[in-house]
Amino acid sequence: MQMVKKNSSITQGQLMFFILQAQIGVGILSLPHVLQLTAKGGAWISVLFAGLFLQLVIIIHWALCKLYPSDNIYSFLPKIVGKYLGNLLSLIYSGYFLFTAGMILVRLLEIIHKWMLQETPKWAVLILILVLSIYLVRENLRIITRFFVITSFIIVVMVILSLVGYMNVDFTYIFPITEAGWVNILKTIKDATPAMLGFEILLVFYPMVEGQSNGKLKAVSVANLLTTLFYTFEVFTSLIIFSPEELPLVPEPMLYMLKAFSFHIVDRIDLLFLALWFVITFTSLTAYLYAGIVGLGQLFHKGQHKKSLLYVPFIVFLISFIPDDTFTILYYERMISVAFRILIIGLPIFFLMIGYVRKKRREQTI
Residues binding other proteins (CB under 8 A): 114-121, 124, 127-128, 131, 168, 170, 172-173, 175-176, 179, 241-246, 249, 257, 259-262, 267
Q: Tell me whether residue 55 or residue 178 sits nearer to other proteins (CB atom).
A: 178
Q: Which residues pair with 208 in a beta bridge?
A: none
Quote the DSSP letter at residue 8. Answer: G
Quote the DSSP letter at residue 2. Answer: P
Shortest approach of other proteins to residue 102 CB, angstroms?
A: 21
Alpha-helical regions (H) of 262-346: 269-300, 312-321, 326-339
Shortest approach of other proteins to residue 165 CB, angstroms?
A: 11
Q: Tell me whether residue 52 or residue 260 sits nearer to other proteins (CB atom).
A: 260
Q: Tell me whether residue 71 or residue 270 sits nearer to other proteins (CB atom).
A: 270
Shortest approach of other proteins to residue 182 CB, angstroms?
A: 15
Shortest approach of other proteins to residue 117 CB, angstroms?
A: 5
The span from the CA of 248 to the CA of 182, in Å, is: 20
Shortest approach of other proteins to residue 106 CB, angstroms?
A: 19
Beta strands in the chain (DSSP E): none
Shortest approach of other proteins to residue 241 CB, angstroms?
A: 7
The span from the CA of 93 to the CA of 73, in Å, is: 9
Q: Tell me whether residue 56 or residue 128 sits nearer to other proteins (CB atom).
A: 128
Q: Tell me whether residue 127 or residue 353 sits nearer to other proteins (CB atom).
A: 127
53-60: list long-range contacts, CB under 8 Å, 24+ apart. 53/189, 53/193, 54/193, 54/196, 54/199, 54/224, 54/228, 55/221, 55/224, 57/199, 57/200, 57/344, 57/345, 57/348, 58/199, 58/202, 58/217, 58/220, 58/221, 58/224, 59/217, 60/348, 60/349, 60/352
Q: Tell me whether residue 170 or residue 324 sits nearer to other proteins (CB atom).
A: 170
